[in-house]
Structure 1
Amino acid sequence: MRLWSLHPEQLDRVGLVACWRESLLAQNVLAGNTRGYRNHPQLIRFRGTAHPLGAMGTYLSALQQEATERGYRFDATKIREPEPPSAPLPVTDGQLAFEWDHLGRKLAERDPERWEAWRVAAPKPHPLFRIESGDIESWERP
């Protein structure tokens, strides 16, 4: 499961679709509707909020909005709680850098055109997150 801290606009088609599906799974885990993935480390930052399903809803809403802008049809009715949480969640600049490099390796393999654009761009956080100084997040499994 990869719940990218990067802005959805920076993901390729495969990454955006996979993130949508994995985020819907994460939403089900947070809602207690599945037995699998309950202890997945990517869920730590959502569980640490006052309203985990609201945070996940905000996360999913940004993915759905990006998909719509690209002409894809991600079903917004699958988002349980699309209302935004009261404050953005923190993400470290080290985590963004780690994910940016990870994304670059994936793009080099499956989308050379997007990879060329990636090489001259800089990482942007998903709208749910605000950047803080720090290393890779403790929940990341490099």
Structure 2
Amino acid sequence: MRLWSVHPSLLDRQALVACWREGLLAQSVIGKQSGGYSNHPQLVRFRECDDPMVSLGAFLSAIVDEADARGYRFAREKIVGRGAVPPIPLAEGQLAYEWGHLLAKLRVRSPDRAAELDSRVLPPAHPVFTVVPGPIAPWERPLG
């Protein structure tokens, strides 16, 4: 499961669709204490919010907004949590890690898109997050 911290406009089609599906999965398990994916590290930052379902709903809303802008049809009505939320802190180190992870994926499956984006030092974050100084998140499981 990868709930991307980078702005949805930077995701290729595969990442955007996967983020939507995984976000819906996260929504279905966020309130549970056990079962599949209930302890997934990607859910930690949403569980730490005052209202995890509304925070996850805000995350998913931005994904749907991007899908709408591209002419895709994501079912906005599947979003359970609705409402305004304060920005979720996102450490620069976490954003940088995810950016590198996404670029590596794009180099394989969408090399033209990766070439367009490689020059960015640090991308804009997903609108639900506010970037703050700091390292990679303690819940992250870095590859390699």
TM-score scaled by length of structure 1: 0.95
Instruction: Tell me what 1:20 maps to.
Output: 20
Instruction: Tell me what 1:123 maps to.
Output: 123
Correspondence list, 1:23-102, <5 A: 23-32=23-32, 35-85=35-85, 87-102=86-101
- The answer as to 2:109 corresponding to 1:110 is yes
Aligned length: 141
Asked if the contact 1:28–1:34 (Cα under 8 Å) also holds between the matched residues in 2, the reply is no
CA RMSD between the two structures: 1.3
Identity of aligned residues (%): 50
Asked if the contact 1:57–1:84 (Cα under 8 Å) also holds between the matched residues in 2, the reply is no
CA distance in 1, matches of 2:32, 2:139: 20
Provide the secondary structure at the position in 2 that maps to 1:131: strand
CA distance in 2, matches of 1:21, 1:93: 25
CA distance in 2, matches of 1:119, 1:40: 29
CA distance in 2, matches of 1:114, 1:34: 39
CA distance in 1, matches of 2:20, 2:55: 14
Pairwise CA distance, 1:89:
0.4
TM-score scaled by length of structure 2: 0.94
For structure 2, which runs of at least 5 residues remain unmatched after alignment? none
Cα deviations across residues 5-31 of structure 1 (Å, max 9, x unaligned)? 111001000000000000000000113
Pairwise CA distance, 1:117:
1.0
Instruction: Point out the more displaced range, 27-36 or 101-110.
Output: 27-36
For structure 1, which runs of at least 5 residues remain unmatched after alignment? none
